[in-house]
Structure 1
Amino acid sequence: MMASQLPAPHPDRVRRLTAINVEDLLRSFRVDHIKIARGIFRLAARGPARWFARQVAIYDRLVGERGLAAGAAWILDRLDMSVSARDTHHVPDAGPVLVVSNHPGLGDTMALAATLPRTDLRYIAYRRPFLQELENTRRYLIEIDEEDSGRRMAGFRQAGRYLDDGGMVITFPGGRIDPDPYAVPGAIAALDRWSESIAVFVKRQPDLVILPVLIGGVLSRGALEHPLVQLYRSRATRQWTAATLQLVLPAYRYANIEVTYGEPLHATDLRGLKRQAVLEHTRDAMRTLIVRHGLPDYYQESS
């Protein structure tokens, strides 16, 4: 469906999303603390930021009218991102499922929503101003506070209750953007950051299924090779900058995202293990997916 065929989003929402996008772009290119550059960049970024804000506002309306999968498929198409999935037969049709995935960013959350054959999914997500503007999408989120440990634990308890009711919860245990395993090294090294919270859910829910998922191909080669991206020393910063360029410059936007669903792990096989052992079993499942589908130099450092 073309954007022109959909009702126009509310101007106030587009305005707020645009302002948030501009500030995010300033931080992405690390000019938010340089007064002269900040003013020039703000003017240059406003057009792309407003375009993206409009697409997101339309997407959120679609989520409210037709569901998350429909909205996700629409916005992936608008961003010139194709998505394919393999081994979806590993996804349980019903019952409590904890989806544990790497987090290369960009369209990864939408790729999951578009390919998971269930509608009862919830994402564990940090509370962000951008997400606060998406009233329909927020119904699919279990928000946690990055700064307040009490509120963070409350979010995890909410996720536990949702699993108790037989739902599907999606988490990115690394807690931040990971290397795209199809484009840059470091995917296996990034597993060292994974949280032991996985084990907490295993201990709580005896019928839980842990479903490892690998997402790759979110980054375009053109964006990664852009001269501006090469100015940054840190691999993580280069990936973040490439992702930002990919969103704001149509010439670099195309990507072919692949979602691979791994063999599930069952809480009944893990409950007698200590937290670290449960975490290591989950990491092993992800390592298998990365080695099978990622770059040959997947093991290098992720910094």
Structure 2
Amino acid sequence: IAARADAEVEVSGIGGGARRVLDDFSLAVSARGVESIPSAGPLLIVSNHPGGLDSLAILSCLPRRDVKVLLSDVAFTRAFSAARRYFIYVPPESRGRAAALRVSANHLRAGGCLLVFAHGDVEPDPEVSPGARESIQRWSRSVEIMLRRAPDARLQVAIVSGVLAPKFVRSPVVRIRKSPARRQKLAEVLQLSQQMIFPRSVRTHVHVSFARAVRGMESNGEAIMSVLVRTAGALLEDHLSSWGIRVFPVSGPRRPGR
């Protein structure tokens, strides 16, 4: 899988590599608002982070080849040698995080596109778990720091859902973890492990929505984070409504048609 993705990255960039992995895993992606993504110029895309393959779902939609992704240094991403030049890794120590922010801001100032997950940790998948609305309220102020360092960048919010299959979220195995975040991470590990061994054994349909891009520093006096949280909250509601998504407790019924 990694070798095929790397070969595609060399030909068609990170977006092509992302589409290759999604196809190998039999993961379908439907997106709204792709036509509003700027094709050039500094762009900061801020998304929720339900985990799984959310970054690949977003990357597969982007009509640009100058994309970099700010992400944690996890072993799965290191498997893709050709794609690593598109990644900005965030180390756990504070000095490393500050350096990653500088690299990110420099990429924006150079006119590039940057994808970040604002929470900094996994968040509830809006299609299988409650709590996505509340999680947006806890998004990191690092977004504001990057926009202040790259004031010409545009800001675009994305919402992703459907990356986790309900059977893994509901698995009795994940109950050994106490916190919802740890349970979700374990569900992600279980799902990804099965997908790596049996690539087409897990079929999920990922949904992505993009808000209209706005000038990051033009908020008419409103704080940047307030604008971000308000925009993300409104997009989430529109996302759920447009895709016909109803959020149930983990033990509850699945959405009709899934």
TM-score in terms of structure 1 length: 0.72
Residues 133 and 255 of structure 1: CA distance in aligned 2, closer, same or farther (over 3 Å):
closer
Q: Give yes or no for the alignment of 1:90 onto 2:90.
A: no
Residues 271 and 162 of structure 1: CA distance in aligned 2, closer, same or farther (over 3 Å):
farther
Which residue among 285, 290, 297 is the counterpart of 2:236? Answer: 290
CA distance in 2, matches of 1:157, 1:188: 29
Work out whether residues 99 and 170 of structure 1, in 8 Å CA contact, stay in contact via their aligned partners in 2: yes
Unaligned runs of 5+ in 1: 1-54, 299-303
CA distance in 1, matches of 2:229, 2:28: 27
Q: Give yes or no for the alignment of 1:208 onto 2:157.
A: no
Which residue among 241, 250, 262 is the counterpart of 2:186? Answer: 241
Matches within 5 A, 1:37-56: 55-56=1-2
User: Percent identical across equivalent pairs?
Assistant: 31
The C-alpha deviation readout for 1:136-172, integer Å capped at 9, x for no partner, is 111101223221x223212211111111111101111
Cα deviation, residue 205, structure 1: 2.7
AA of the residue aligned to 1:224: V
CA distance in 1, matches of 2:78, 2:164: 26
Provide the aligned C-alpha RMSD in A: 2.3
Secondary structure at the residue paired with 1:62?
helix
Which residue among 209, 218, 222 is the counterpart of 1:260? Answer: 209
CA distance in 1, matches of 2:170, 2:181: 14
The aligned residue for residue 126 of structure 1 is 72
Which residue among 69, 82, 90 is the counterpart of 1:144? Answer: 90
The aligned residue for residue 255 of structure 2 is none
CA distance in 1, matches of 2:188, 2:159: 18
Q: Give yes or no for the alignment of 1:99 onto 2:45.
A: yes
Q: Give yes or no for the alignment of 1:218 onto 2:163.
A: yes
Work out whether residues 62 and 71 of structure 1, in 8 Å CA contact, stay in contact via their aligned partners in 2: yes
TM-score in terms of structure 2 length: 0.83
Say which structure, 1 or 2, has more relative contact order (CA 8 Å, 6+ apart). 2
Cα deviation, residue 111, structure 1: 0.7
Unaligned runs of 5+ in 2: 249-258
